Structure 1
Amino acid sequence: MIELFLDSPAIFGSFLFILGLLVGSFLNVVIHRIPKIMEQQFRQECQLIDAPVDAPMPQTPTYNLVVPRSACPSCGHAISALENIPVISYLVLRGRCRGCKTPISPRYPMVELLCAVLTTIAGLHFGVTITAIAAIMLTWFLIALVFIDADTYLLPDNITLPLLWLGLLFNLNNVFVPLDQAVIGAIAGYLLLWGVYWLFKLITGKEGMGYGDFKLLAALGAWFGWQALPSIILLSSVSGAIIGIALAILAKRGMGKPMPFGPYLSIAGWLTLLIGSSLQQLLYIAA
């Protein structure tokens, strides 16, 4: 298989695209269910705090990334395997539930296509190497974080923290940077936004970002080392300004409305994955 991929980039690219579509379908589940799982856990903890000491544990239906099966939120129609083929099923069903004909959000195939495209780009960029495996995994994590944060203003610990440990794990073998640079990057990434958070709060009395942003930048520091942090901050700020202004104009929303920072950190992290060394050289020359 490896020899086939090495001999034929087209076959390797096709494999990556199909893999990205399949993983994108799973990421739709992750994006939808992780916040609901977090809310359910929070409610259970609140019930335990308020309940008497000898009260039985509250029983709730099992809800995780596997159970229950995906179903239409309007009519409860269980989605079959044939109705869950990435992109194709959406087109065949014409974007509507087979049971009640309620429109299905176009974001589902969009996430699948986005995952397929970015997976293919990352894989072909690094070739048939361990670096490509790492880059593809990072891509999947960042896609999930972008959409979860955009929906809920949350960056879940059960995604950001495994991402941090994965970065350190890959860099045990210097996949992107030496381990010492990765460790310093994780520490510096967290402390950098932590310091910005408290400085902003002392000056304005408001919270400018959440703790999830600290952990995400720490994770990116673990992947790319402390030297990449200035370019990541710069890219995230520029992309945030551009997209934020565009959204304010197109959606006619006020500039004072809060915006999640996680999507822009994720965009900056993915760009750093592909062109990070060039960006660092530009910043060095500019400085």
Structure 2
Amino acid sequence: MNGDAELLLVDWLAQLEPHWRLLLFAAVGIIAGLGLDVIVRRVPLAVEQAWLEEMQAADASGTPPLHAPSHPAALPSAAMTRAGSLASPHLARLDTAPTRRWQLSLLSGVLSVAISWRFGPTWQSIGALGLVWTLIALAYIDYDTQLLPDMLTLPLLWVGLLCNLGHWFAALPAAVVGAAAGYMSLWALYWVYWWLRRREGMGFGDFKLYAALGAWFGWTALLQILTLACLLAIVVAGSAWIAGRLRSDQMFPFGAFLAAAGIATLFCGNGLMIWIGGTP
């Protein structure tokens, strides 16, 4: 968060005693976690169903679909649905984890309490709740399916810019530049990797999520977010590769690490920029 941003009080929240405010945020977070469970299970299925309908319409008309899946992980799933299976294995298994609901509720509740503690009875707290809940949903969806749906990433980007009309988390010019720079930087890396290896290194959803984080935190936070995400990915993917659970040529959910880095930046600010010699 930009250290120059002014904390804007929400009057009715400010009137609550701190312990009651923490309990309120905990309860709201737990309830939100139940909603996140529905989103994590239903949104990928809705995206896949939309792809299936578009492919069937394209088959009927003899024209290519306008919005074909851009992420390679989506292609086998779309092919399976086209062949007659209404839900691919990696999406169908989303309904087979009953503990996921309580895991999401606990994580959402804990982070919501942390937001109340970090930002107090302010409008920044309200905005941070929406940001964190959306990032949790995106991280789980990307982990499960390697998809980052536009119906979540694009609203996250626009809401970030709207919040920063009041400089809640960054100055508006920095947020606009952050959104553009976030998208274009990963877009450029994508094509460099394609030119060198002749295969995709990430999905387009990663570009949009990185742009959304730039819209929330400004361009000065982008290097920190990418650095943290890469470090997390190296540790997790490297451990999975050593354990034999990940092939060297297998895609992994980088968006989940971007989401985790975004949550860390929300709570810790741009402190890493000082360590690497930049400007916080």
Query: TM-score scaled by structure 2?
Result: 0.80
Amino acid at match of 1:199: V
Give 1:104 shift.
Answer: 5.0
Over aligned residues, Cα RMSD in angstroms? 2.3
Q: Does 1:19 align with 2:28?
A: yes
**What residue number does 2:232 align with?**
239
Separation (CA, whole Å) in 2 of partners of 1:166 and 1:3? 23
Separation (CA, whole Å) in 2 of partners of 1:204 and 1:36? 31
C-alpha distance after superposition, 1:25-67 (max 9, x if no partner): 01100000001111111111222223369xxxxxxxxxxxxxx
Give 2:133's match in structure 1, choosing from 122, 140, 150: 140
Contact 1:123 1:133 in 2 (8 A): no
**What residue number does 1:65 align with?**
none
Q: How does 1:1-287 map to 2 (within 5 A)?
A: 2=11, 6-51=15-60, 105-249=98-242, 252-284=245-277
Structure 1 stretches lacking a partner, 5+ long: 54-101
> The residue matched to 2:270 in structure 1 has which SS?
helix
Give 1:174 shift.
Answer: 0.5
Indicate the structure whose relative CO is greater, using CA pairs within 8 Å and at least 6 residues apart: 2
Separation (CA, whole Å) in 2 of partners of 1:221 and 1:256? 29
Pair 196,52 (structure 1): closer, same or farther in 2 beyond 3 Å: closer
Give 1:10 shift.
Answer: 1.3
Give 1:138 shift.
Answer: 0.3
After the TM superposition, which of the residue ranges 40-49 and 178-187 deviates more from structure 2?
40-49
Structure 2 stretches lacking a partner, 5+ long: 1-9, 63-94
Give 1:281 shift.
Answer: 2.2
Give 1:108 shift.
Answer: 1.7
Give 1:124 shift.
Answer: 1.7
Separation (CA, whole Å) in 1 of partners of 2:97 and 2:180? 42
Contact 1:5 1:11 in 2 (8 A): no
Separation (CA, whole Å) in 1 of partners of 2:197 and 2:138? 28
Amino acid at match of 2:225: I
Separation (CA, whole Å) in 1 of partners of 2:250 and 2:127? 36
Pair 51,4 (structure 1): closer, same or farther in 2 beyond 3 Å: closer
Pair 212,3 (structure 1): closer, same or farther in 2 beyond 3 Å: closer
Task: Give aligned-pair identity as a percent.
Answer: 40
C-alpha distance after superposition, 1:5-26 (max 9, x if no partner): 5552211111111111111001
Contact 1:123 1:136 in 2 (8 A): no
Contact 2:13 2:121 in 1 (8 A): no
**What residue number does 1:86 align with?**
none
Query: TM-score scaled by structure 1?
Result: 0.78
> The residue matched to 1:51 in structure 2 has which SS?
helix
C-alpha distance after superposition, 1:217-250 (max 9, x if no partner): 0000000001111101100001111122233345
Contact 2:224 2:270 in 1 (8 A): no
